[in-house]
Amino acid sequence: MKITSKTRWMVFAGVWLQSLFTSATAFFSLFSLPLTTQFGWSSSDFSMAYTIYMFVYCAVGFFGGYLAEKLQPRVAIYIGLVFFAGGWFLTGFAASIPQLYLFYGLFAGAGAGTIYPACLPTALKWFPDKSGSISGLVQAGAACGPFIMSPIAQWLIDSYGAQMACRILGIVFLIGVGAVAWMIVPCPEGWLPEGWKPSTTQSQELNRKNYNIPQMVATPVFWVLLIMFIFANAAGTMMVSATSPIAQNQIGQSAMTAAMCVSAMTLFNMIGRISFGFIYDKLKGWNSLILVLLLNGISMLMLTVAKSLPYFLVCVALVGFSFGGLLVVFAPMVRIIFGSRFYNRNYGLIFIGYGIGAFVGPKISASFYDSTGSYVMGYIGSAILAAAAILLVLLAKKLASNMNR
């Protein structure tokens, strides 16, 4: 394929569009009430499907990154798409909880987890001059997906029923992602944008040693980053997972108003993703990561005294804004530290930390509420995790600098 000035923007468009479709898990809760009512499932049993999805999604990231590098990104995407779209389609036939876990949790989760590391790292390789802003815009696509697709999914549920809606969406995902996967082509090793003159710092980053998986996991900085990623994501998901019940139980709002609070957090999450992309390009990785965690910790402490709806909405906006920046900032950091050559698989492996944090955070929050009848200890615990993550960032920065001496 002949590379032109438009090639990388074609890759970006393909990655953005696939992220819009594969972010479908964010509106899976729309299926909760109709399916639990139809089959008599409990809400907790149904919600476990999402937990399994997220665990599998993060656990198979290494595999997707490996396929993208060994074969082609689009090959990894097509393989993942078979499982992702097939999982959604088969979910439309699930008549028991084990079938729901198998089709949605395992199949769809594995498919999405294979696609993700074949896309974002590939896009960032094409944009060494603006990796932060591109990371933010791609992640914003994942936030736009639920915003655009949720009303469509709800209309399908209302019109055809929840199971038929799953089948239709599976076909839509198959066609949508399949139609753009060809656009996502690998960046040639050592390629630079025409006319771009890297700064001294950027040149050093581009010429870093390329670490493969065994070399990466042998470095102390990998383990520090992994633990930091777990802490940071757990700190964010402790609040994100409980926005609606917090609005109802702590602030005394109706279910409809609580839903508005969730929408506000989603909106500011998207704004945070776009904003932190540009913040990253200005402040660079380590400082941007500290800012994300600092804002998250402050917002959690603010929530301990939230009693009114306007103040709560300010807190929600700050939480959404800061949490939206986490993946945006973290993704290019892995390439800067461990090099570009094995970036897809390296990022896929370290992404496991995101899944662990997403599992641990809500569990901690729920445990605090069950034992105390209040979310305050959950906020304090989240703030402590954010503070611990900042200390780990400082440690990781020092360890990374020693790697390149």
pLDDT tens digits, one per residue of 317-335: 898 888 888 888 888 888 8
Residues 6 or more apart whose Cβ sits within 8 Å of residue 298: 318
Q: What is residue 177's predicted lDDT score, i.e. its pLDDT? A: 94
pLDDT tops 60 at residue 12: yes
Closest CA to 235 of 16, 26, 385, 94: 385
Q: What is residue 115's predicted lDDT score, i.e. its pLDDT? A: 94
Mean pLDDT on 251-278: 82
What's the topology of domain 7-183?
A: Growth Hormone; Chain: A; (1.20.1250)
Distances (CA, A) of 221 to 91, 218, 398, 403: 40, 9, 9, 9
- How many CB atoms sit inside 10 A of residue 212's CB? 13
Q: What is residue 169's predicted lDDT score, i.e. its pLDDT? A: 94
Q: What is residue 42's predicted lDDT score, i.e. its pLDDT? A: 84
pLDDT tops 80 at residue 9: yes
Q: What is residue 95's predicted lDDT score, i.e. its pLDDT? A: 93
**Binning pLDDT at 50, 70 and 90, where does residue 109 land?**
very high
Instruction: Please check whether residue 233 is in contact with residue 358, taking contact to mean a CB–CB distance below 8 angstroms.
Output: yes
* pTM given for the model: 0.81
- Say how far apart CA 76 and CA 267 lie, in whole Å: 31
What's the topology of domain 202-403?
A: Growth Hormone; Chain: A; (1.20.1250)
Q: What is residue 274's predicted lDDT score, i.e. its pLDDT? A: 87
Instruction: Write out pLDDT tens, residues 347-396.
Output: 889 888 888 887 777 777 777 777 888 888 888 888 898 899 999 999 99
Mean pLDDT on 191-196: 83
- The C-alpha angle 120, 134, 233, rounded to 5 degrees, equals 60
Q: Which amino acid would we find at residue 181?
A: A
Both structure tokens of 130:
């603006």
DSSP letter (8 states) at residue 375? S
Instruction: Write out pLDDT tens, residues 228-252.
Output: 988 888 877 776 667 777 888 888 8
- How many CB atoms sit inside 10 A of residue 6's CB? 9
Domain(s) labelled CATH 1.20.1250.20 in the chain stretch across 7-183, 202-403
Mean pLDDT on 120-147: 85
The DSSP code sequence of 108-146 is: IHHHHHHHHHHHHHHHHHT-TTSHHHHHHHHHHHHHHHH
Q: Which residue has the higher pLDDT, 284 or 85?
A: 85
- The C-alpha angle 284, 289, 294, rounded to 5 degrees, equals 130
Both structure tokens of 74:
């689009």
- Say how far apart CA 91 and CA 32 lie, in whole Å: 13
Q: What is residue 369's predicted lDDT score, i.e. its pLDDT? A: 78
Instruction: Please check whether residue 125 is in contact with residue 210, taking contact to mean a CB–CB distance below 8 angstroms.
Output: no
* Structure-token match 């395992």, residue found: 106
Q: What's the burial of 321, exposed, middle or buried (CB within 10 Å: 0-12/13-18/19+)? A: buried
Q: Which residue has the higher pLDDT, 273 or 167?
A: 167
Instruction: Please check whether residue 16 is in contact with residue 167, taking contact to mean a CB–CB distance below 8 angstroms.
Output: no
Q: Which residue has the higher pLDDT, 394 or 139?
A: 394
pLDDT tops 60 at residue 405: no
Q: What is residue 319's predicted lDDT score, i.e. its pLDDT? A: 87
Q: Which residue has the higher pLDDT, 297 or 258?
A: 297
**Binning pLDDT at 50, 70 and 90, where does residue 404 land?**
low
Q: What is residue 77's predicted lDDT score, i.e. its pLDDT? A: 95
Residue spans of beta strands (DSSP E) within 162-229: none
pLDDT tops 90 at residue 184: yes
DSSP letter (8 states) at residue 208? S
Instruction: Write out pLDDT tens, residues 27-86.
Output: 787 788 888 889 998 877 887 888 888 889 888 988 889 899 888 999 999 999 999 999
Instruction: Write out pLDDT tens, residues 168-182.
Output: 999 999 999 999 999
Mean pLDDT on 148-177: 91
Angle between helices 309-338 and 285-303 in degrees, nearest 10? 160
Instruction: Write out pLDDT tens, residues 285-321.
Output: 789 999 999 998 999 899 888 889 999 899 988 988 8
Mean pLDDT, the chain, whole residue set: 86
- Say how far apart CA 281 and CA 12 lie, in whole Å: 17
